[in-house]
Structure 1
């Protein structure tokens, strides 16, 4: 028995020696380089590819089935002259015996100088679509005989194939390049200097992976340097793939960044479970220049329409500096604007949408809560539903240009000059000249191209909103827009204990946009509105205003120059500033009555009960035919124009003397029967800001006044009438309303 075992051992040893000898002989006596043409033909017939072997072939047979190719290229049979891939060297070896057990045990796999070229022609056909396909067979004139088929039996069901086990010592790819060219769009993409190295590749074990590459594109021109590190783990039976301790970092530059460089880094744990149809990214950390973010993402229903959920937290950062660092600088704003921004939100999305739910956004001391979503990326469909405590919108409006500032300074100088002349001469100077300096900016107001692509529905509310220097309490804004047509459903709120409401529309489809605006203001202090705009108010009081206006253009000047519509206004319980009409009239009446006023001089201002009128606007000029002012003892009627283009006015005003109508009137200020119904004419012309300081006695109308006072003596000259009057009375009449 022992002898039999010894003999069997010797036989097996002999067979092994014979196999080794055969392997040695095959690998040393058989040179595959002598059979390159046969190998190429086999590649054509079996794999349907054109294989070119310009370098040597090295190989080994046992115990490793090894192969080493140099200077090889691969092309499709339909276009054999243009290889889609070539490489400098490919080296790999596989243990022979484990292959019989469907196990792949490989030593180090090395790929040097791989160059992969993918392209799509003008007809949309990709060169990769022909890989492995046999060329079409040319049709012949001889018809083929119909094949006769013998009865066949149903094939026996095949057993499911067992997955092949992988066992690779390492994988190394050096200096690889992949490029893609699309002739239909002209777009080109590339990945260059690809370096890939891994540790031992074993299923169910962590595999160290390191990848570096340079990515580029031509539309737009971009260049990205990147590096990826982590440990890959996979289980094909469970369809579970993990990338642990993933770190991806690099730098990007190109046309969208306007010459700036963006440094980015992200890390976390990645999981894809195809059996459960989920993917997760936990422990997410992201940095992009100054921006730092944390979060987690989860995608369900990978086999259907993927559904994204997760959370995102962005630490406080300077958004203005960040946008500048990525080549997207914002227009000049108030100092510190967008300097403190932080965000916390839940995420929900699909391949075509993304929503920030339960949003908490802090912006320069303001806090916004609500929802922000893009419902369709292709249509840029933006949906906004936010509430804020306080927000100053003026801080985020672009600063005025130098031209606009210069025009404002020139106009202010003109107003100050007119005001100084009127005050210095006590109102006895000639009428101020009508203003000619434009009051409005020619800077572009609206980004028309962006508005035309906008699809937005916005619902905003604010505890306090500052807009155009106006503090609006409990403000609400609802607006929508699509295809260049925007609609303001409502903008409303409380203003200085009054209320206001506005609605309107904007048609931005053409190069000259069309604006329509309706406003309702109720019991708002008019002087506070004017002061907020940096103007000196000529009047005080509670204004109620209704207007319906339209305009065309993309600047303040263009809109005002084309302003048309109607408006009506009422100011109650107000004051005409620097216009003591009542005191001056009472002084004149007292002189006419040859009496002395018993009361002390009153305030330099003129209180009134009501000031009202209607406006019709045509191309920036507002006509006011029915101005009425109710003042104790006076009735004031007027008509004229307000030129909004230069903020100037030209009015003719008539004041009817009624006398002192108080419960205990001053006897000297009572109007006798000879003077009742007399209308003293005024002419008011000049900058709108001057108010009553721009008014003078209308000398052209004094003749009619004198004629009425004299009864039927219409033929006598005005100067003769005035010469017969006491000099004090003459001076008083000339000085009426000149202050």
Structure 2
């Protein structure tokens, strides 16, 4: 018995030694650079794009018996419509494969993936063509080459293959993504992304940490910039298309037009659950400067979404975020016989043009008809247009082209405000009804906050019922009808 055990132990030890020797001999027996041409030809055949691998493909075995594949500079072209722009390029890519499962069970396990200096360029030209549709199967060629049944079967096999996903970890540094849209003159950049992902297995939570910069340019001017840091635990159920985000913590500093000069500080913590049909964010805790928001948000039926929002805010100062228009003065110009003539103020001209445009803008009837939502929002203290409101509550809903406000209620200078409204967007010309009641409002403090002086003192009661119809602001004002009663 003892001899048998010794022989078996010796045999196992010999096998282990042979496997280790074989592993260490891999770099001597296999030269991955011999397959460069095969790889590039295969990519060109499948995608019509050019894969460039100017450096060597390196292969070695790590002390932990992982097979390490290293690529230096790699780039993939953007396709025939964008000959001068690479689609993706990288400075360094390294993949570590667990050798023991590969040799003993023929199981491919990725121990680690390292990415450095990856640059992705997403482009849409003036004709509306982009440089990614053909890769996603959205192009005409892709549709012709892949009939619907084949695509479906391929997708099913792909999902089954990913069910056994197991990656030891991912480290990505200096990742940059740029989206340029020539049709809208808009550029969105995600720069300096550093990403750390723990062991990634289906059905088990794994940690994710990320930090990056985000910016948006419109017409050559930067309209928004943000620095973002985030961490969470993520669970994937790929076969069910189900994703769970647990303990998301996100910090962000927003800078841009209309925001306070130092920037807008934002902190978010939340849990989220996303499946094929629904998205649920609960609980949701958001801090924006001095405003604290708590609540829940859900989207039911993602194909035909129904939005549900319930939020509680401690305070909100809308005046703090109002865009300040730069002051402009008339310019003087010398006219005939040395006289001075006054030129029109450019700022006023722009204001008049903007006002005219707003009056003639069409109400988005199709958008209103498609809205399906409920909202219940409470604000302890609200400041807007210089006025201070307390205990604000907004309850609204929309379904099948009917939008209801029932009610908007608030405390206003020792009095109360109650508004109710209804928008019927089902007819070709929308119809609007609005009723409101102000009771016991002190006029002195109200005028002081609005104008800086207590021009009127006393209390006011106001009741109003107004109805109108129209497709533009101008039409709504023209067709307005109703009654207003005022008691001082």
TM bucket, shorter chain: 0.5 to 0.7
2:319 maps to what in 1? 323
Map 1:162-561 to 2 at 5 A. Answer: 163-219=162-218, 221-257=223-259, 259=261, 261-274=263-276, 277-302=277-302, 304-317=303-316, 319=317, 322-325=318-321, 327=323, 337-346=386-395, 348=397, 358-369=407-418, 386-391=436-441, 395=447, 399=451, 473-480=461-468, 482-483=471-472, 484-485=474-475, 486=477, 487-493=479-485, 495=487
Quote the RMSD (CA, aligned, Å). 4.6
1:93 maps to what in 2? 96
Cα deviation for residue 240 of structure 1 reads 3.0
SS across alignment from 2:247: strand
Cα distance in 2 for residues equivalent to 1:174 and 1:257: 30
Instruction: Return closer, same or farther for 1:162/1:122 CA change in 2, 3 Å cut-off.
Output: closer
Cα deviation for residue 179 of structure 1 reads 0.5
Cα deviation for residue 198 of structure 1 reads 2.4
Q: What is the number of residues matched between the two proteins?
A: 402
2:114 maps to what in 1? 110
Cα distance in 2 for residues equivalent to 1:335 and 1:370: 16
Instruction: Return closer, same or farther for 1:341/1:67 CA change in 2, 3 Å cut-off.
Output: farther
Cα distance in 1 for residues equivalent to 2:91 and 2:422: 50
Cα deviation for residue 192 of structure 1 reads 0.7
Cα deviation for residue 267 of structure 1 reads 1.5
User: Greater Rg, structure 1 or structure 2?
Assistant: 1
Assess if the C-alpha contact under 8 Å between 1:118 and 1:128 holds in 2: yes
Assess if the C-alpha contact under 8 Å between 1:118 and 1:127 holds in 2: yes
Instruction: Return closer, same or farther for 1:491/1:95 CA change in 2, 3 Å cut-off.
Output: same
1:31 maps to what in 2? 31
Cα deviation for residue 169 of structure 1 reads 2.7
Cα deviation for residue 94 of structure 1 reads 2.3
Cα distance in 2 for residues equivalent to 1:335 and 1:184: 36
Assess if the C-alpha contact under 8 Å between 1:280 and 1:298 holds in 2: yes
Cα distance in 1 for residues equivalent to 2:458 and 2:467: 20
SS across alignment from 2:36: helix
Query: 101-110 or 211-220: which moved more?
Result: 101-110
Cα distance in 1 for residues equivalent to 2:91 and 2:111: 19
1:123 maps to what in 2? 127
Could you state the TM-score of these two structures normalised by the residue count of structure 2?
Answer: 0.67
Give CA deviations for 1:129-181 in whole Å, capped at 9, x if unaligned. 23388x999xxxxxxxxxxxxxxxxx9xx999464323333222111111100
2:355 maps to what in 1? none
1:645 maps to what in 2? none
1:55 maps to what in 2? 55
Cα distance in 1 for residues equivalent to 2:216 and 2:402: 26
Assess if the C-alpha contact under 8 Å between 1:473 and 1:494 holds in 2: yes
Instruction: Return closer, same or farther for 1:85/1:473 CA change in 2, 3 Å cut-off.
Output: same
Give CA deviations for 1:527-552 in whole Å, capped at 9, x if unaligned. xxxxxxxxxxxxxxxxxxxxxxxxxx
Instruction: Return closer, same or farther for 1:206/1:127 CA change in 2, 3 Å cut-off.
Output: same
Cα deviation for residue 263 of structure 1 reads 1.2
Assess if the C-alpha contact under 8 Å between 2:447 and 2:456 holds in 1: no
Give CA deviations for 1:541-568 in whole Å, capped at 9, x if unaligned. xxxxxxxxxxxxxxxxxxxxxxxxxxxx
Cα distance in 2 for residues equivalent to 1:184 and 1:92: 39
Cα deviation for residue 43 of structure 1 reads 2.8
Give CA deviations for 1:89-129 in whole Å, capped at 9, x if unaligned. 11121225656979663223221111110000111111112
Cα distance in 2 for residues equivalent to 1:202 and 1:297: 28
Map 1:145-156 to 2 at 5 A. Answer: none
Instruction: Return closer, same or farther for 1:335/1:267 CA change in 2, 3 Å cut-off.
Output: closer
SS across alignment from 1:125: coil
Cα deviation for residue 349 of structure 1 reads 6.1
Cα deviation for residue 3 of structure 1 reads 8.4
Cα distance in 1 for residues equivalent to 2:403 and 2:263: 27
Assess if the C-alpha contact under 8 Å between 1:103 and 1:164 holds in 2: no
Instruction: Return closer, same or farther for 1:390/1:489 CA change in 2, 3 Å cut-off.
Output: farther
Cα distance in 1 for residues equivalent to 2:10 and 2:391: 80
Map 1:64-83 to 2 at 5 A. Answer: 64-78=66-80, 81-83=84-86
SS across alignment from 2:24: helix
SS across alignment from 1:257: coil
Cα distance in 1 for residues equivalent to 2:96 and 2:296: 42
Instruction: Return closer, same or farther for 1:98/1:181 CA change in 2, 3 Å cut-off.
Output: same
Query: 15-24 or 69-78: which moved more?
Result: 15-24
Could you state the TM-score of these two structures normalised by the residue count of structure 1?
Answer: 0.46
SS across alignment from 2:73: strand
